[in-house]
A and B are shown apart, each in its own frame.
Chain A
Amino acid sequence: GQQVMQIPQYQHVQEGEDFTTYCNSSTTLSNIQWYKQRPGGHPVFLIQLVKSGEVKKQKRLTFQFGEAKKNSSLHITATQTTDVGTYFCAGFEYGNKLVFGAGTILRVKS
């Protein structure tokens, strides 16, 4: 079945440093979605990528979808304490269900 691998599992950064989390799927995806879950909260949708090679930006966050539509990344520039939480990628295989990666827990030291 479809698997979505996400690394790293944890990342501790100093405030102001950059952060990246990576997602890899065992199969080609129709789209990939990214979610953020604050501590004690619920996953909140951030963005959806559909096209091969697509790059989207939201302020300090940059999202990329690979050319083969099997991998994706989320990059945060100059992290802030408000960025703490768990970031999940979720891949949607054609005609199938959404499969979440294991998530990357981000901690930011001020």
Chain B
Amino acid sequence: DTAVSQTPKYLVTQMGNDKSIKCEQNLGHDTMYWYKQDSKKFLKIMFSYNNKELIINETVPNRFSPKSPDKAHLNLHINSLELGDSAVYFCASSNSNQPQHFGDGTRLSIL
């Protein structure tokens, strides 16, 4: 059973398009995260939700909008995609400050 699953695994799209990435966890964790990993492997926290409430909202363009319909799901919608958005996006979950479990990542390429 997959603990943290995100879809799609690969996303290739053109500049200016709008796209969504979905994430689900079946671990019963109360906190979910979105990270962006660039080509230099740097992991940057973007958002965090605890029991559907936004608790971390880092400095990211407002084209990025997270949505948590329930505590097992955290989706990421991106408007007007730009070249600089190309990266791997990881979803993760945990209980508070306990170790995080990561999904397999979504590789986003902007043409």
Q: Is the CB–CB distance between A45 and B43 below 8 Å?
A: no
How many pairs, one residue from A and one from B, have CB atoms within 8 Å of each other in the complex?
43
Inter-chain CA distance A44–B103, complex, in Å, is 10
Specify which chain A residues have a CB less than 8 angstroms from the CB of B48 in the assembled complex.
97
Q: Is the CB–CB distance between A30 and B97 below 8 Å?
A: yes
Q: Is the CB–CB distance between A42 and B104 below 8 Å?
A: yes
Inter-chain CA distance A70–B92, complex, in Å, is 25
The smallest beta-carbon distance between B17 and chain A, in angstroms, is 25
The smallest beta-carbon distance between B74 and chain A, in angstroms, is 15
Q: How large is the interface on B (under 10, 10 to 19, 20 to 34, 35 or more residues)?
A: 10 to 19
Q: Is the CB–CB distance between B99 and A45 below 8 Å?
A: yes
Q: Is the CB–CB distance between B41 and A92 below 8 Å?
A: no
The smallest beta-carbon distance between B34 and chain A, in angstroms, is 13
The smallest beta-carbon distance between B37 and chain A, in angstroms, is 9
- A interface residues, tally (CB under 8 Å): 21
Specify which chain A residues have a CB less than 8 angstroms from the CB of B12 in the assembled complex.
none
Q: Which residues, 72 to 111 on B, are CB-close (under 8 Å) to A?
A: 90, 92, 97-105
Inter-chain CA distance A88–B42, complex, in Å, is 9
Q: Is the CB–CB distance between B43 and A103 below 8 Å?
A: yes
Q: Select B90's contact among A31, A42, A97, beta carbons within 8 Å.
A: A42
B27 within 8 A of A: no
Assuming the A-B contacts A42-B90, A97-B48, are A88 and B99 also in contact, with contact meaning beta carbons closer than 8 angstroms in the complex?
no
Q: Is the CB–CB distance between A33 and B99 below 8 Å?
A: yes
Q: Is the CB–CB distance between A48 and B41 below 8 Å?
A: no
Max chain B Cβ within 10 angstroms of own Cβ: one of A37, A42, A43, A86:
A42
Assuming the A-B contacts A88-B43, A102-B42, A103-B41, are A42 and B100 also in contact, with contact meaning beta carbons closer than 8 angstroms in the complex?
no
Q: Which residues, 10 to 52 on A, are CB-close (under 8 Å) to B?
A: 30-31, 33, 37, 41-45, 48
A105 within 8 A of B: yes
Q: A41-B104, A42-B102, A102-B42 are in contact. List 14 more A-B contacts (CB 8 A).
A: A30-B97, A33-B99, A42-B103, A42-B104, A42-B105, A43-B90, A43-B102, A48-B98, A48-B99, A92-B97, A100-B45, A102-B41, A103-B42, A103-B43
